[in-house]
Chain A
């Protein structure tokens, strides 16, 4: 079963708006990462947040992590058409050596 689950499954926004998606996971983690996948392409690493961090920024991306609730959120500000993609959270469980991916949120940015 998936370690992380994203919510919502799909999101449609207007260009310039912000997009927020959430990820919940089940067990203690070393770190949580977000990846982007354009249709049928490989995944691209966006940002990593360690379990002892609460918030991280990278350009127009903001990630938060709440380990007490076992959840994370990814905010994309001032969205662009090029942000249209699927976004996946991935967790690295304590004692594990691999990333487990959620089912993803599909984001469509309308021009």
Chain B
């Protein structure tokens, strides 16, 4: 157990639907990062939050949004889902706002859009 908790582990949903992925960072970590992993695109950075504020945005579609709450957990919302959104979604956390101590990854949410 890495200390980063992601729920749910698996999600199967239909095209056009909306889902919410949840992440609880490791205790004491202020940063949360979201990544999407697919076979054709590899690991793609989506968004970074630090202590409740958005710090950086990557290749995140407009249909996707995220937030980090006062208790530091984060949610990634995916809407108007398409078949191509099927992927593993990882959350990672770090103690500060940079990568200098490395990231701790959760076990991921496998999203299948049918």
Q: Which residues of A contact B2 (CB under 8 A)?
A: 42, 44
B residues 91-114 with Cβ under 8 Å of A? 92, 97-108, 110
How distant is A79 from chain B, measured CB to nearest CB, in Å? 23
Contact residue range for chain B? 20 to 34
Nearest CB in chain A: distance from B31 CB, A: 8
Instruction: Give Cα A84–Cα B97 distance, bound, in whole angstroms.
Output: 32
Q: How many A residues face the partner with a CB closer than 8 A?
A: 24
A99 to B35, CA, bound (A): 10
Which B residues are in CB contact (< 8 Å) with A100?
45
Q: How many A-B residue pairs have CB under 8 A?
A: 67
B73 at the interface (CB under 8 A from A): no
Query: Is A31 a contact partner of B42 (Cβ separation < 8 A)?
Result: no
| Known contacts A31-B100, A33-B99, A92-B98; A43 and B105 CB within 8 A of each other | yes
Shortest CB-to-CB span from A32 to chain B, Å, is 10
Instruction: Classify the interface of chain A: helix, strand, loop or mixed.
Output: strand
Minimum CB distance partner of B101 in chain A: A48
Kindly identify, within residues 37 to 62 of chain A, every residue whose CB is under 8 Å from any CB belonging to chain B: 40-45, 48
CA–CA, A20 to B98, complex, Å? 28
Known: A42-B90, A98-B33, A104-B42. A30 touches B100 (CB 8 A): yes
In the complex the two chains form, is A101's CB within 8 Å of B103's CB?
Answer: no
Question: B43's contact among A33, A40, A48, A88, by CB below 8 Å, is which?
Answer: A88
**At the interface, yes or no: B19 with Cβ under 8 Å from chain A?**
no
- Pick the residue among A2, A44, A45 that contacts B42 (CB under 8 A): A2
A111 CA to B33 CA, complexed, in Å: 37
Q: Do the beta carbons of B105 and A44 come within 8 Å of each other? A: yes
Can you list 17 A-B contacts with CB-CB less than 8 angstroms, sorted by A residue number? A2-B42, A30-B98, A31-B99, A40-B88, A40-B110, A42-B90, A42-B108, A43-B43, A43-B103, A45-B103, A45-B104, A45-B105, A92-B100, A97-B55, A97-B56, A97-B98, A98-B45
